[in-house]
Amino acid sequence: MRYAPAAIAISLLAAVTSSASLGAGYDADPRAVALVEEGRIQMEAGDTQGAIDSFEAALVVDPGYSDIYLDLAEVARIEGLQGKAIHFYREAQARDPENLAAISGEGEALVEKGALANAQRNLERLEDLCGSDCMETLALAAAIDRGPSSRVLTAEAVAPDSAVTQN
């Protein structure tokens, strides 16, 4: 019992110190930031595989830098891999549930995939978080209005003519 006041004081100090550090912003490793910038330049130049390599290297250098997931999702969408993009957007949301860019990006990828009902839920969530006038909400609303992109016709979708003609 005589150690109780000291234990309470120490636990209170630990709680205040840890809660103060949670409020501080995240400072990414400068090496990861440089790799992300390099990846963005590669992505703009059309070198998607080089961009993926740079983003993944940045993730290895600084696994806590969650903005990298947004860049990886963007590259996946460029390559037409909307399912993979949705995975990366959800990973970013798991780290920051109110990340507006991740919610909007996931909604746009869902539209591209044809899941308009799920994209509409993302739009409603964005409207709750930032209103109907914020940039992310407007971008997702425009994507929903455009609708899913046209599908590429595959060989399996075309039935061959079974009639044989003689020359």
Please give the mean pLDDT across all residues of the chain.
81
Mapped onto helix, strand or coil, the DSSP state of residue 98 is coil
CA neighbours within 13 Å on the CB side: how many for 49?
0
The whole-number pLDDT of residue 92 equals 92
Distance in Å from the first CA to the final CA of the chain: 104
pLDDT tens, 40-55?
Answer: 999 999 999 999 999 9
Distance (Å, whole) CA 61 – CA 13: 32
Work out the average pLDDT over 121-140: 89
Q: Write out the two tokens for 137.
A: 């909400």
Distance (Å, whole) CA 128 – CA 136: 12
Distance (Å, whole) CA 89 – CA 115: 15
Q: Which residue has the higher pLDDT, 4 or 157?
A: 157
The whole-number pLDDT of residue 132 equals 84
Q: Write out the two tokens for 143.
A: 């994507």
pLDDT tens, 48-83?
Answer: 999 999 999 999 998 888 889 999 999 999 998 999
pLDDT at 155 over 70: no
pLDDT at 130 over 80: yes
Are residues 117 and 87 in contact, defined by beta-carbon separation less than 8 angstroms? no
Which amino acid is residue 102, in one-letter code?
A
* pTM to 2 decimal places: 0.72
C-alpha to C-alpha distances, 24 to 17, 19, 20, 21, 129, nearest whole angstrom: 11, 9, 7, 5, 21
**In angstroms, what is the C-alpha Rg of the chain?**
23
Owner of token pair 């920051």: 96
